[in-house]
Amino acid sequence: MPSPAVLRTIRRRSRLAGAGVALAAVALLVPAAAGAAPRVDGEFALSETPKQLTTGPDGNVWVVLGGAKDVARVTPDGTVTEFDAPTFSAPFGIVTGPDGNLWATYVGGVARIPPGDPAAAVAFPIAALTSPGRIVVGPDGNLWTASGENVLRISPASPATATAFPVAGMGARGIAAATDGQLWIVDFGSQRVVRMATDGSFTTVPVGGGPQDIAAGPDGQVLFTNPGALEQHVGRLTGGATAPLLTPMPGDDPFGVAFGPDGAYWTANFARDTLGRIAVDGSRTTLTGLSAASGPRYLTAGPGNTLWVGLERTSKVARVVGVDPPAGGGGGGGGGGGETPPRDVTAPRISNLSLVRRSFRAGRAVTPEGVRARGGAIGTIVRLRLSEPAAITVAVERPRDGRRSGGRCVAPSRRLRKAKRCTRIQQVGVLRATGREGRNEVAFSGRIKGRSLAPGSYRLRVGARDAAGNVATERPARVTIVRAR
């Protein structure tokens, strides 16, 4: 993640899942003279495998190491100094905290690392931090990280009294603090992205595959990497989104991601030893120049409009120069000159929502005309009108029994058997369709991922998102799936 200072500087200045939007153009960034285009400008040896990186309060880049040494300081000219901190071991995530210290995650806690004397680091045990990952500074001035099924809020003044916010079923990976005051967490375990407020309330967006890392961009947007998807890609999300906007990256293995000083996202493409540059509109270019078989894994924005990349296979850190802010500001799509056209800020509108039938049995397929078979009506058709072309999503959810815990409704467990009963909502799948202006129909057979849903009551949340990323106000509907006669 860029430091808060870098983010403040930046702020001044595809394939769409289910949508008929053309794939983003793919170009090649040819290395050129400094100041003309981004280029790889040196690789510097480390004694250990690099993990995550951050720009420190001292203007140097700091890297956590996976071995006998714990952290390395890399000056802007590439001079490496490594340190062993005796109070903790095997750190993973690192960030510059609001108190002017470096903070790192490790198995069982966090460590406060004075940049002037890393050997004097102080460790703070946190029992819930069993799987260390990325750590960020939240909009509330606290440190935030995610581990297993918990999102952790850590006060720099009292780290050992961390507050854990549980997210059932989560297998946390990356975390980002977005410009809209929300935290976004990649949930590898349940193939989704979690959007959490600082009070612990959250919503989720299913993304499938195996998402890994996430970074915050402008206007509340975030971008996550998904190397575990059938077609590898990155996805962009903003608040209220029910489905991501995708940029395909087949065979790249995009893993770590950071937001650069040029106002674009950069990914470490492990399989191809390249970096990807993804503009805020989803268009993609590729930067070559890293050593063959170097294995770029994580990266961070650095001082002087640079990027710094950890090379896992060769135990080095690479410097990329020329990552300059565009003359006109913003992240750009990389094309053309002249004036920037006005940004589309009008959200699509959903109207005239109706269902062919609200009670039906599940079937193998449903056509827009509907199907009738022995044993009763099969499936339904969701009908709606759109004010403009947009990607339609129909989230299928089922009310389930729950128990109150910490002000939230969670899955029943033996520990909560005496807790107050409640109704929780479980998302079972999402239907997607390409919508056009005017009348649209989405068929729902009562099957998700090839399996018939169990008889019972379900809730549908119908949403739409246009090519500019504007999200419609969702419309609800209720249906009942009945048993075959």
In CATH terms, the superfamily for domain 4-22+30-321 is YVTN repeat-like/Quinoprotein amine dehydrogenase (2.130.10.10)
Tell me the C-alpha distance between 186 and 170, whole Å: 9
**pLDDT value at residue 8:** 37
Three-point CA angle 94, 70, 59, nearest 5°: 50
CB 288 within 8 A of CB 269: no
Q: Three-state SS across the chain? A: CCCHHHHHHHHHCCEECCCCCCCCCEEEECCCCCCCCCEEEEEEECCCCEEEEEECCCCCEEEEECCCCCEEEECCCCCEEEECCCCCCCCCCEEECCCCCEEEEECCEEEEECCCCHHHCEEEECCCCCCCCCEEECCCCCEEEEECCEEEEEECCEEEEEEEEECCCCCEEEEEECCCCCEEEEECCCCEEEEECCCCCEEEEECCCCCCCEEECCCCCEEEEECCCCCCEEEEECCCCCCCEEEECCCCCEEEEEECCCCCEEEEECCCCEEEEECCCCCEEEECCCCCCCCEEEEEEECCCEEEEEECCCCEEEEEECCCCCCCCCCCCCCCCCCCCCCCCCCCCEEEEEECCCEEECCCCCCCCCEEECCEEECEEEEEEECCCEEEEEEEEEEEEEEEECCEEECCCCCCCCCCEEEEEEEEEEEEEEECCEEEEEEECCEECCEECCCEEEEEEEEEECCCCCECCCEEEEEEECCCC
> Mean pLDDT lowest for which of 57-61, 304-308, 408-412?
408-412
Asked if pLDDT for residue 41 goes beyond 60, the answer is yes
Confidence of residue 342 (pLDDT cuts 50, 70, 90): low
Domains of the chain, residue spans: 4-22+30-321, 350-481
pLDDT band for position 21 (cuts 50, 70, 90): very low
Cβ 282 vs Cβ 247: under 8 Å: yes
CA distance linking residue 316 with residue 324, whole number of Å: 24
Convert the pLDDT of each residue in 218-259 to its tens digit: 999 999 999 999 999 999 999 888 899 999 999 999 999 999
pLDDT grade for 363, boundaries at 50, 70 and 90: confident
178-196 mean pLDDT? 94
Using a pLDDT cut of 90, give the percent of the chain over it.
59
Instruction: State residue 345's pLDDT score.
Output: 64
- What is each CA distance from 5 to 11, 56, 201, 411, in whole angstroms? 10, 11, 27, 41
Which residues touch 415 (CB under 8 Å, ≥6 apart)?
none
With a CB cutoff of 8 Å and minimum separation 6, the contacts of 222 are 176, 178, 184, 193, 214, 215, 216, 236, 237, 238
Alpha-carbon torsion angle 99, 102, 106, 110, nearest 10: -10
**Count of positions (residues) in the chain:** 485
Question: 8: which residues sit within 8 A by CB, 6+ positions away?
Answer: none
CA nearest to 186, candidates 220, 142, 155, 151: 151
Over range 378-402, report the average pLDDT. 88
* pLDDT recorded at residue 404: 85
| Residue 45 to residue 43: CA distance in whole angstroms | 7
Correct CATH for 350-481 of 3.10.450, 2.60.40, 2.60.120, 3.90.25: 2.60.40
Q: What pTM was estimated for this model as a whole? A: 0.64
pLDDT tens digits, 250-296: 999 999 999 999 999 999 999 999 999 999 999 999 999 999 999 99
Instruction: For residue 343, name the pLDDT band (cuts at 50, 70, 90).
Output: low
Instruction: Examine the pLDDT at 10 and tell me if it is beyond 70.
Output: no
Distances (CA, A) of 480 to 360, 380, 398: 7, 10, 10
φ, ψ of residue 314 to 5 degrees: the values are: -110, 0
Q: Could you report the per-residue pLDDT of 414-447, keeping only the tens digit for each?
A: 888 888 888 888 888 888 888 888 899 888 888 8
Q: Reply yes or no on whether the pLDDT at 332 is more than 90.
A: no
Alpha-carbon distance 53 to 333, whole Å?
27
